[in-house]
Amino acid sequence: MTLLTSWPESGPETTVRRTTDPTEIRAALAPLGVRYERWPVRDDVPPGADPATVLAAYRTEVEKLNAEESFSTVDVVSLHPSDDPEWAAKAAGARQKFLSEHTHDDDDEVRFFVAGAGVFYLRVGGEVHAVYCERGDLLGVPRGTAHWFDMGTRPSFTAIRFFHEEDGWIGNFTGDQIATRFPDFDTLAADRAALG
C-alpha cells in the first residue's frame, strides 16, 4: 500500500496530509507535475529476476509509456539482501548516494517498482511530500524538482528506470541538509505497516 505523507518544509512536527488512497495520492501529486500510476503486478516475476525477464514481463506497459515520453534508455536496477560479506557496505553506499537533496536539470526521474519499496521525498511549494512507493507504483519526478530517495537500512527493491538522456542519472546536489530533518524510510515503513 502506497503512503503519501506531507509536512511543512520547516519540519515534520505537523502533518499536512497522510493518505494511502491511490486516487487521493494522484490528485495531491498531479498539481506538482508528479506522475503517479499503479501498474498491474506480475506475480511470476521474482524479486531477484534478471533485467531481461523484468523488461519482458512489463513490455506492454513500458512500450506504452515510452510511446508517450520517447525515452532513450530503459533499464532495471535491483538491490536485495545477500549473503555476500560485502553486501552491507555496498547497500549503505548506494543508500547514501541518494539521501541528499538534489535536482536533475535535463531529465525527469521516472521509476516503476517491480518489487520491494523505497521513498521519494519531494520539496515543492514549501512542503515536503514523502511518497512511500511499493510494488506496482510508477512515480515520475519532474526535472528541476528538489528531492531525495531513501531505500532504507536494508534495501530490497527492483525498479525499472526510464531516462530521456543517454547519460542516465545525473544529480545536482543542493547542499541543503533538509533530508536529515524528516522521517527516514524505516520509520515510514513502520508507519505504513501500522496502517494495515
Contacts 24+ apart (CB under 8 A), 168-174: 168/73, 168/75, 169/104, 169/109, 170/104, 170/105, 170/106, 170/107, 171/98, 171/102, 171/103, 171/104, 172/102, 172/103, 172/104, 172/105, 173/100, 173/101, 173/102, 174/100, 174/101, 174/102, 174/103, 174/146
Q: Going by C-beta distance under 8 Å and a sequence separation of 6 or more, which residues neighbour residue 176?
A: 101, 146
Annotated binding site for Fe(2+): 102, 104, 109, 147
* Alpha-helix residue ranges (DSSP H) falling in the chain: 22-29, 51-57, 59-69, 87-98, 185-194
Annotated binding site: 102, 104, 109, 147
Is-contact 163 111, C-beta < 8 A? no
C-alpha 21/C-alpha 19 separation (Å) is 6
In the annotated binding site for Ni(2+), the residues are 102, 104, 109, 147
Query: What are the grid coordinates assigned to 130, written together?
Result: 514523502
